[in-house]
Amino acid sequence: MTRTTLCFLIICSAIACLFGSPAYAQATRTWVSGVGDDANPCSRTAPCKTFAGAISKTAAGGEISVLDPGGFGAVTVTKSISIVSDYSGEAGILASGTNGVTINAAATDVVTLRGLTIDGAGTGLIGINYIQAGAVHVQNSVIKNFRSGSAMGIRLAPNAGTAGELYVDNTVIQDCGNSAANGGVVIAPNTTGSARAIFNFARLENNSSGLIANQVGVTGKIFVAFNESTAGGSPNAGVTVITQAGSGGTNLTLNRSASVHNATGAVSDGPLSFIIISNSIFIGNSTGISAINSGQILSPGNNLFGSLVADGTPTGPATLK
């Protein structure tokens, strides 16, 4: 070996030692496991331990998959991503004293959360805090025990000038909230923000309030569809819409749904609040429905009432075509 060649090899070795091994490239699919390690590349055979550890190694538009049961920690999402547990046992996020999943991505990003159990342990703040994204899909999940501070299962509060879309399917939200102003789901855009939310086969159980769409002081609009879903066991209202003059207005439809065993089944509060109830059940509430401050509740007359004190009366008919 010549002296020149030897010197070249020594220099290359020194450079390798100086800079170490290369960083892991972001993958379109990563993995977490209850026995993983965040120092791993989050591959199928070398999974990470937490969602926070995996998300930095997952490319935008990619997926974090759960290999086996475990607690995977709170996470902040800043890009399009799917976090998925399908038939892998419980994929837990313990969010004691904090938020479970915070979503603050680009206004066009899409986030999917499927098969997760997000537990506030009684001291958690918000289960899913949706600040900004193009759309968020919550599927086959459980959100529970958020009782401190803001105390909400899901909060949809799009930033000014953005439109948030929330889709909740086959999901339970239970034991969340600590006042009439919060609870299972709160939809409250900021200033010129707007929101759309669709619930299918959702169950809102034993929350301080079930679902609140609050449009006070906001020029954007809120549209909510509550389909084949249940809001029950609230000491306040199962479903509430609140607006004021000058706001963009809120439209909420309850179709083939139940608001049962609450203080009030549905409240429409404010001049631009509209609730349409169809093929729905209001049983065991102290008051079935209540329209106040020029709010409206419209019905085609095909709902079932059985209230403890008063059923309430729709403010007008609704023609469904």
For the CA atoms of 55, 57, 63, 66, what is the dihedral angle to 10 degrees? -70
Q: What's the pLDDT score for residue 86?
A: 95
Yes or no: say if 64 and 84 are a contact pair by the CB < 8 Å rule.
yes
Helix (H, G, I), strand (E, B) or coil at 210: coil
- b/e string for 301-313 if b means 16 or more Cβ within 10 A? eebebebeeebbe
> Cβ atoms within 10 A of the Cβ of 298, count?
19
Q: What's the pLDDT score for residue 5?
A: 45
Taking the C-alpha atoms of residue 154 and residue 152, their distance in angstroms, rounded to an integer, is 6
Q: What's the pLDDT score for residue 143?
A: 98
Taking the C-alpha atoms of residue 258 and residue 231, their distance in angstroms, rounded to an integer, is 6
- Write out pLDDT tens, residues 281-292: 999 999 999 999
pLDDT band for position 20 (cuts 50, 70, 90): very low
Q: Which two tokens stand for residue 142?
A: 């459980």
- Write out pLDDT tens, residues 82-124: 999 998 899 999 999 999 999 999 999 999 999 999 999 999 9
What is the number of helices (H) and of strands (E) in the chain?
A: 2, 31
Q: What's the pLDDT score for residue 2?
A: 54
Domains of the chain and any CATH numbers: 68-317 (2.160.20)
Tell me the whole-structure pTM to 2 decimals.
0.91
Please provide the average confidence, as pLDDT, over all residues in the chain.
92
pLDDT band for position 7 (cuts 50, 70, 90): very low
- pLDDT of 8 > 70? The answer is no
Yes or no: say if 214 and 252 are a contact pair by the CB < 8 Å rule.
no
Q: What's the pLDDT score for residue 175?
A: 98
- pLDDT of 174 > 60? The answer is yes
- pLDDT of 12 > 70? The answer is no
Q: Which two tokens stand for residue 168?
A: 């909740």
